[in-house]
Amino acid sequence: MDINLPLILLIAVGVTGVVWLYDLVALRGPRLRAIEKLNEQFPDLEESQRGNNEAYAAAYVALAAEPVVVEYSKSFFPVLFLVFALRSFLIEPFQIPSESMVPTLEVGDFIAVNKFSYGIRMPVFRTKLIPIGSPERGDVMVFFPPNETRYFIKRVIGLPGDTVRYTNHELFINGVKAEQTLVEQENVTRMDQCIARGGRNVIVDEVVGDEAYRARKCSIPGRLSVDGTWHVPEGHYLMMGDNRDNSSDGREWGFVPEERVVGKAFAIWMHWDKLLSLPSFSRAGGI
């Protein structure tokens, strides 16, 4: 089961904030009045002497003590609120769990996602509050696919109103073919879907409009790369993984509604392949 961290953070911020507010409104006043009465019981003690008087000090500590729940809430609320605000409105980290975006992103990459590139949204509910920008063709975007609660990351290929065709690894957008240039043929021989079909993975530079990026494809197209045409409805986007024959994407499950957009991935900041391995920053940089 996937953990809904934004919802957990929202609940934690709400609970600790309510406890802190309740203490401020209902509990703090009686504590202060009790301390005032204590001071009246020691009229001969100067303020500088109170700490040295054992009877006064013991009584003061008992009266001024906050409930444990209040103490922890006041300590955690500012930190939780800051983390919640940063993750909700500015930048959120994600880890790449699959090979669907190879060669751009590898399994174990930690990426930073700009949460306001496509507008300020209400946390958890994702309702857009302030429109700022919209996804552009070629962006690497984090989103929720239709009927999914998990985050996905793919590349924006089709914008609202586009007609996209993908046939034998050739991409056409509104009838215009995307230029492809062979970069290299992989020499990796470990078994995967491509090699199992008798093919070989190759890396190409693909250009869509003004955006250039690298994609990986099998010399023998997989079922999602043989032939397909999609007409992107208004308010929706067609997403594809850069690893075209090893990606579950819009060619299979359809279009992403605008309200399910999360943000734009803009940088790799760390790579951590396995739990027992050491983190690496050799891949840090822009996407």
* 102 and 228 assigned to the same domain: yes
Please give the residue range of the domain that contains residue 66: 5-90
pLDDT one-digit tens code per residue, 140-164: 999 999 988 899 999 999 999 999 9
Domain boundary among 64, 90, 116: 90
pLDDT one-digit tens code per residue, 233-244: 999 999 999 999
User: Percentage of the chain with pLDDT > 70?
Assistant: 99
* 190 and 55 assigned to the same domain: no
Catalytic (active-site) positions: 100, 154
* 243 and 277 assigned to the same domain: yes
- Residue 189 pLDDT: 67
- Residue 2 pLDDT: 60
Strands (E), the chain: 91-95, 109-114, 120-121, 128-130, 140-143, 152-158, 163-167, 170-173, 176-177, 179-185, 201-208, 211-218, 227-231, 236-240, 256-257, 261-271, 285-286
Strand pairing class (170-173; 236-240): unpaired
Closest alpha carbon to 141 in 273, 281, 249: 249
- Residue 127 pLDDT: 85
pLDDT one-digit tens code per residue, 207-227: 988 889 999 999 999 999 999
* 62 and 101 assigned to the same domain: no
Beta bridge partners of 229: 165
* 36 and 122 assigned to the same domain: no
- Residue 228 pLDDT: 96
- Residue 28 pLDDT: 94
CATH classification at residue 142: 2.10.109.10
| Tokens 């013991």, residue located | 58
- Model confidence at 101, in pLDDT bands (50, 70, 90)? very high
pTM listed for this prediction: 0.83
Domain count along the chain: 2
Domain boundary among 90, 113, 143: 90
Max Cα distance, the chain (Å): 95
- Mean pLDDT estimate for the chain: 92
pLDDT one-digit tens code per residue, 149-205: 899 999 999 999 999 999 999 999 999 999 999 999 988 767 788 888 889 999 999
pLDDT one-digit tens code per residue, 61-96: 999 999 999 999 999 999 999 999 999 999 999 999
Domain boundary among 90, 105, 140: 90
pLDDT one-digit tens code per residue, 17-53: 999 999 999 999 999 999 999 999 998 888 888 888 8
* 170 and 67 assigned to the same domain: no
* 242 and 207 assigned to the same domain: yes
- Residue 1 pLDDT: 42
Whether the link from the prior residue into 103 is cis, omega within 30° of 0, is: yes
- Tokens coding 242: 């850069």
* 125 and 12 assigned to the same domain: no
Radius of gyration of the chain (CA): 28
* 106 and 234 assigned to the same domain: yes
The Cα-based distances of 136 to 92, 170, 210, 236, 239 in angstroms read: 20, 20, 10, 12, 11
* 41 and 112 assigned to the same domain: no
